[in-house]
Amino acid sequence: MEKLIITVALTGAEVTREHTPYLPITPDEIAQSAFECWKAGAAIVHVHARNADGTPTQDKEIYRQIIEKTNELCPVIVQVSTGGAVWMTPEERLQPVTLRPEMATLTTGTVNFGDDVFMNAPKDLETFAQTMQEHGVRPEFEVFEVGMITNAMRLVKKGLATEPLHFDFVMGVPGAIPGTPENLLHLIKQLPAGASWSVAGVGRSQLPLSTMAILLGGHVRVGFEDNIYYTKGVLAESNAQFVERIVRLANELGREVATPDEVRKMLGLPL
Q: Footprint of Zn ion on this chain (CB under 5 A)?
A: 81, 83
Nearer to Zn ion, 114 or 159 (CB): 114
* Residue 82 contact, options ligand KMH, Zn ion, none, Cβ 5-8 Å cut-off depending on partner type: ligand KMH
Indicate the residue type of 117. Answer: V
Q: Smallest distance, Å, CB 12 to Zn ion?
A: 5
- Exposure of 90 by Cβ count < 10 A (0-12 exposed, 13-18 middle, 19+ buried)? middle
Stretch that binds ligand KMH, among 8-16, 188-196, 216-224, 243-251 (CB under 6 A): 8-16
> Do the beta carbons of residue 200 and residue 171 sit within 8 Å?
yes
Q: How far is Cα 35 from Cα 140, in angstroms, rounded to an integer?
A: 21
Is residue 113 a contact point for ligand KMH (CB under 6 A)?
yes
Query: How many alpha carbons lie under 13 Å from residue 29 in its C-beta half-sphere?
Result: 17
Q: How far is Cα 159 from Cα 172, in angstroms, rounded to an integer?
A: 31
Nearer to ligand KMH, 15 or 214 (CB): 15
Nearer to Zn ion, 31 or 200 (CB): 200
SS3 162: coil
Is residue 118 a contact point for ligand KMH (CB under 6 A)?
yes
Q: Interaction with ligand KMH in 55-84: which residues (CB under 6 A)? A: 81-83
Q: How far is Cα 56 from Cα 159, in angstroms, rounded to an integer?
A: 32
Nearer to Zn ion, 224 or 250 (CB): 224
Q: Which residue is nearest to ligand KMH (CB)?
A: 83
Query: How many alpha carbons lie under 13 Å from residue 232 in its C-beta half-sphere?
Result: 0
SS3 1: coil
Nearer to ligand KMH, 42 or 247 (CB): 42
Is residue 105 a contact point for ligand KMH (CB under 6 A)?
yes
- Which residues of the chain form contacts with ligand KMH (CB under 6 A)? 12-14, 81-83, 85-86, 105, 107, 113, 118, 142
